[in-house]
Amino acid sequence: MPVRQISPRQGQLSVFLKTKNEQMKAVAGAASITALFGITEPAIYGATLRLKKPMICAVICGAIGGGIMGWGGSYGTAFANQGILTIPVYAEAGTKAFTCYLIGIAIAFFGSAILTYIVGFEDIPNEKPEKKENVIKGIVRSGDADIIIASPVEGRVIPLSQVKDNVFSSNAMGKGIAVVPSLGEVVAPADCTVSVLYPTLHAIGLKLDSGAEVLIHIGMDTVNMKGDGFAKFTEMGSKITKGTKIVTFDIDKIEEAGYDPTVVVIISNTENYTEVVGTENKKTALLEDLITVIR
């Protein structure tokens, strides 16, 4: 059902209009535009899943729009990534089917945006925790202990700025670090709850017991593999301990499919902390210190 590629992202438009959080506004604005052309992950991970209500509103409107498409018999005549430029693919289904397709898109796109605006959401404040006078290496730190996050993957460490995806390299989704994997395995970097486990298994969201929220994204554009070469060892909502295996992935299969296997590890609630600092080591083993989150 093509509507599913559009609707879960367009609550972003209302997030952009309503949020007072500067970083969230920037992410939501950019993601609303890129989603029109089939680049959807920034919208999902940047705001809708984090804020929850926009995702629920989008799913409701997407279901209604999809139902109208199904009733009208809408279908595409070629494989194409869903976006505004691929709408003509569905024109050959006939006038009724194509009209229902357009109506479904309108409901999914504008309906989710309007419903999100009406329902609202719990915004993320701009304010950072109160800082005490404790300066180390030029960084003003609070009196609370830093959060040390272990590496969930093994391989060669690179800065986010070198990742071949502007959404990650620009820190739009939060600060962190990246690892070019030498072992196709992801483990829990700390005691945590699995808050998000994408059906294609290429993206994992963790809520650490310390309060930090971690996004682990396996590869660039690997969502297109639809789970091929991936296997899971836990479920969304599970409470797991440090070192628990979460997902395995076939590095060779990812590369053979033409995708970059680089694993991105991001602190998705970066705005709650003073700074996020990646390791200076060039390589990392599983569960070695990878990121320091400064409160």
pLDDT in tens, 36-79: 555 555 555 565 666 677 778 778 888 888 889 889 888 777 66
Q: What length does the chain have?
A: 295
Burial (0-12, 13-18, 19+ Cβ within 10 Å), 77: exposed
Residues 215-250 pLDDT 10s: 999 999 999 999 999 999 999 999 999 999 999 999
What's the CA angle centered on 55, arms 274 and 24, to 5 degrees? 30
**Contact in structure between 55 and 115 (CB atoms under 8 Å):** no
Is the per-residue pLDDT at 133 higher than 50?
no
Model pLDDT, residue 286: 96
In the chain, what are the helix, strand and coil shares in percent, each to the nearest 5?
Answer: 40, 25, 40
Model pLDDT, residue 108: 79
Q: What number is the average pLDDT over the span 102-117?
A: 81
* Domain boundaries defined on the chain: 2-119, 137-294
Classify residue 74 by its DSSP letter. -
Model pLDDT, residue 246: 98
**Contact in structure between 145 and 295 (CB atoms under 8 Å):** yes
**Contact in structure between 135 and 141 (CB atoms under 8 Å):** yes
Dihedral sign, Cα of residue 69, residue 75, residue 81, residue 256: positive
Q: What number is the average pLDDT over the span 85-104?
A: 83
Is the per-residue pLDDT at 138 higher than 60?
no
The CATH architecture to which 137-294 belongs is Distorted Sandwich (2.70)
Nearest to 196 by CA among 60, 54, 45, 53: 45
**Distance in angstroms (rounded) separating the CA atoms of residues 208 and 292:** 14
Is the per-residue pLDDT at 84 higher than 90?
no
Residues 167-221 pLDDT 10s: 898 888 899 999 999 999 999 999 999 999 999 999 999 999 999 999 999 999 9
Dihedral sign, Cα of residue 77, residue 80, residue 83, residue 85: negative
Sort strands 283-284 and 155-158 into parallel, antiparallel or unpaired: antiparallel
Q: Higher pLDDT residue, 128 or 76? A: 76
Query: Within the chain, how many helices (H) and strands (E) appear?
Result: 9, 16
Q: What number is the average pLDDT over the span 3-17?
A: 52
Confidence grade of residue 83 (pLDDT, cut at 50, 70, 90)? low
SS3 annotation, 135-179:
EECCEECCCCCCEEEECCCCEEEECHHHCCCHHHHCCCCCEEEEE
Mean pLDDT of the chain: 81
Model pLDDT, residue 159: 96
Is the per-residue pLDDT at 4 higher than 60?
no
**Distance in angstroms (rounded) separating the CA atoms of residues 241 and 193:** 9
Model pLDDT, residue 8: 46
